[in-house]
Amino acid sequence: MVKVTLKGGVVREYEAGTSCADIAKSIGAGLYKSACAARIDGEACDLRTPVEKDCELEICTFEDADGKHAYWHTAAHVMAQAIQHLYPSAQFGIGPALADGWYYDIGGTEPFTPDQFEAIEAEMKKIIKADIPVEKRFITVEEGREIFRDQKYKLELLEEYAEKGWQLSVYQQGDFTDLCAGPHLMSTGSLKAVKLLSTASAYWRGDAERDSLCRVYGIAFPKASELEAYLNMLEEAKKRDHRKLGKELELFALMEEGPGFPFFLPKGMIVKNTLIDYWREIHHRAGYQEISTPIMLNRSLWERSGHWDHYKNNMYTTVIDDTDFAIKPMNCPGGIMVYKTKPRSYRDLPLRMGELGIVHRHELSGALHGLMRVRCFTQDDAHIFMTPDQIKDEIVGVVRLIDEVYSLFGFEYHIELSTMPEDHMGAIEDWEMATNALRAAMEELGRPYEINEGDGAFYGPKLDFHLVDAIGRTWQCGTIQLDFQLPERFEIEYTGEDGQKHRPVMIHRVVFGSIERFIGILIEHFAGAFPVWLAPEQVRVIPISEAHRAYANQIAKELDGAGVRVSSDCRSEKMGYKIREAQLQKVPYMLVVGAQEMENGTVSVRARKEEKGGVKTVAEFKEQILAEIVSRER
């Protein structure tokens, strides 16, 4: 018998070798029916997995991340099986589950188009209806070579995994077999509502010198209603696409002459500069000093920081006077050099230095996406140098600052603690100390957080802040990274109260992350209708006829003098046309003026929020909008 600790600490005994599925069935028919996968001592596995020893067991439904992963991974295999039936010459690359759905990279055929989706979905539904068992087995290299003798991409992966000494496994459902570690659902019939979404080109293994494959994306849910809600969300997302709105609202441009290097237009610069002004205001209040460091520094600095060894493929490099240089992908080494410009004492710490630094990173062209993934961006960095006993208070302060910013825009968010990756610098003891310090700060704040194993930066663990936007999508923006490594590598120090030299601890942190990306997120979050304080044009004055133009210009001049971003539309167009155009440009306030308004010294306010409209005196409206701007009301 084995003792199995279930959710809530309940302990039950089972015969050794009892499957996770049978344990789920013993708990309840409803749980068994909705189960997708399991976790034994925290490690995800199939429901078919036998329990051989005392353990903690969690049954994962679709509501659980590992449950979704198994559900979508199985759907990816079903899609590949359907494609194999319809296109026998297809060559299969990889087909992982994603945060939302899955994709599969496919070669050996002409690229698929949405016109072919209906036939593939129909074949998927046949496979689902057949309720084919999904079974795992372990294989030898020789068996794998035979199974995948006609699949060149699978053979390449097989040989690579074998060379690394990994245990090889396949999943089989009927006539389809895939090289895979799982986990998966028990059978194809566990899938319900499926939908293929789109295609894209993808280089095999992300290498532009290798084959170009067709990447097919899909999504699946246990209920048709959930699929319908998701597809409605996608439609809403299309309407909010920042690339489309950025062009329509004249905020930024993307040009072939600079792929991944966005051009900000005058209206976009207003949004960007307004965000920067806000950033400077809150950082000044929080005790940060602003610095600026060079955009290009020589190789010796990047070797010392570790970037040359760990990040060189993402850096732009050049040679000047026979010396290697790199354009900075991160601001931190420059911040350290500023710290070293003079001796520091414990009395100087914590030292908080902020930088709006322009950084460049070499992203693959296929990964570029509007403002969300670019090659050049402004990072709202800050580096905090402190004594070990100041760590917790500084982390708490940064979390509160980030919370203030995200709350201003109406974002909900969750926090992940990312731990030591395989490719890391420094001693494990330092990593444990840093990770424990982040954990202790979060527990002191009473904030819930999730553990993201192995996803820390190469120099330290971090807290990542994931925003949830107006339609439920998640974005990773803010981060707090605790670093014991760079202070050591750069040999920075301070004189302690004991008169001895000590090594400070360093925090790397961003709030917006990339300002460009944050603007893209804001465009989609607000569907281009920015809050008044952030809107590039806050007021448009619209005269009813030519006779009222002077009055319109007078009002615009008065508001402009008070610091309001305002224009007057005195074109010889119909008033309805002007109003419609202002609405399309997402202008928060329109002031319509005619004979009655001229006579009474008033304006007819058409507001995005109806309760703020109506007939008002110019003074009343000015007081209203200035209060809204100062308070940064949403």
Residue 538 near residue 532 (C-beta atoms within 8 A): yes
DSSP string, 42-105: TEEE-TT-EE-SSEEEEEEETTSHHHHHHHHHHHHHHHHHHHHHH-TT-EE----B-SSSEEEE
Model pLDDT for residues 508-549, shown as the tens digit of each residue: 999 999 999 999 999 999 999 999 999 999 999 999 999 999
Residue 454: predicted pLDDT: 86
Residue 12 near residue 57 (C-beta atoms within 8 A): no
- What is d(CA 73, CA 525) in angstroms, rounded to the nearest whole number? 30
> Does residue 383 have an active-site annotation?
yes
In the set 91, 379, 485, 538, the catalytic residue is 379
Residue 320 near residue 442 (C-beta atoms within 8 A): no
Q: Cβ atoms within 10 A of the Cβ of 633, count?
A: 13
Model pLDDT for residues 187-241, shown as the tens digit of each residue: 999 999 999 999 999 999 888 889 999 999 999 999 999 999 999 999 998 999 9
Residue 77 near residue 134 (C-beta atoms within 8 A): yes
Q: How many secondary structure helices (H) and strands (E) does the chain include?
A: 20, 34
Percent of the chain beyond pLDDT 70?
100
For helices 224-240 and 515-525, give the axis angle rounded to 10 degrees.
120
Residue 423: predicted pLDDT: 78
Q: What is the largest CA-CA distance in the chain?
A: 93
Instruction: State whether residue 627 is helix, strand or coil.
Output: helix
- Contacts by 445-451 with C-beta closer than 8 Å and gap 24+? 445/396, 445/399, 447/399, 447/415, 448/414, 448/415, 449/414, 449/415, 449/416, 449/417, 450/414, 450/415, 450/416, 450/417, 451/416, 451/417, 451/419
Angle at the Cα of 453 (from 447 to 454), degrees rounded to 5?
130
Q: What's the per-residue H, E or C state across 143-174? A: HHHHHCCCCHHHHHHHHHHHHCCCCCEEEEEC
> Does residue 73 have an active-site annotation?
no
In the set 48, 383, 525, 616, the catalytic residue is 383
In the set 508, 578, 606, 622, the catalytic residue is 508
What integer is the mean pLDDT of 52-66? 94
> Does residue 243 have an active-site annotation?
no
What integer is the mean pLDDT of 453-480? 87
In the set 48, 154, 373, 462, the catalytic residue is 462
Residue 52 near residue 2 (C-beta atoms within 8 A): yes
> Does residue 361 have an active-site annotation?
yes
- For residue 602, pLDDT beyond 90: yes
CATH numbers and ranges of domains, the chain = 2-61 (3.10.20.30), 66-239 (3.30.980.10), 252-295+329-525 (3.30.930.10), 539-631 (3.40.50.800)
In the set 361, 540, 606, 622, the catalytic residue is 361
- Residue 426 sits at φ, ψ, to 5 deg, of 90, 170
Q: Which of 507, 482, 530 is nearest to 278 (CA)?
A: 530
What residues pair up with 19 in beta bridges, in sequence order?
50
Beta strands in 204-254 (DSSP E): 212-221, 252-253
Model pLDDT for residues 96-151, shown as the tens digit of each residue: 999 889 999 999 999 999 899 999 999 999 999 999 999 999 999 999 999 999 99
- What is d(CA 73, CA 83) in angstroms, rounded to the nearest whole number? 15
Residue type, 577: Y
Percent of the chain beyond pLDDT 90?
82
Model pLDDT for residues 379-388, shown as the tens digit of each residue: 999 999 999 8
> Does residue 307 have an active-site annotation?
no
- What is d(CA 592, CA 28) in angstroms, rounded to the nearest whole number? 65
Q: Which of 581, 583, 621, 628 is nearest to 604 (CA)?
A: 621
What residues pair up with 252 in beta bridges, in sequence order?
264
Residue ranges in 528-617 assigned as alpha helix (H): 549-561, 575-584, 595-600
In the set 20, 60, 214, 332, the catalytic residue is 332
Model pLDDT for residues 4-42, shown as the tens digit of each residue: 999 888 999 999 999 999 999 999 999 999 999 999 999
pTM (global) more than 0.95:
no
In the set 64, 381, 403, 469, the catalytic residue is 381
Dihedral sign (CA 148, 154, 156, 159): negative
> Does residue 502 have an active-site annotation?
no
Instruction: State whether residue 316 is helix, strand or coil.
Output: coil
- What is d(CA 489, CA 504) in angstroms, rounded to the nearest whole number? 12
What integer is the mean pLDDT of 593-620? 93
Model pLDDT for residues 359-413, shown as the tens digit of each residue: 999 988 878 899 999 999 999 999 999 998 899 899 999 999 999 999 999 999 9
- DSSP class of residue 504 equals P
Q: What's the per-residue H, E or C state across 262-313? A: CEECHHHHHHHHHHHHHHHHHHHHCCCEECCCCCEEEHHHHHHHCHHHHCHH
Residue 8: predicted pLDDT: 86
> Does residue 392 have an active-site annotation?
no
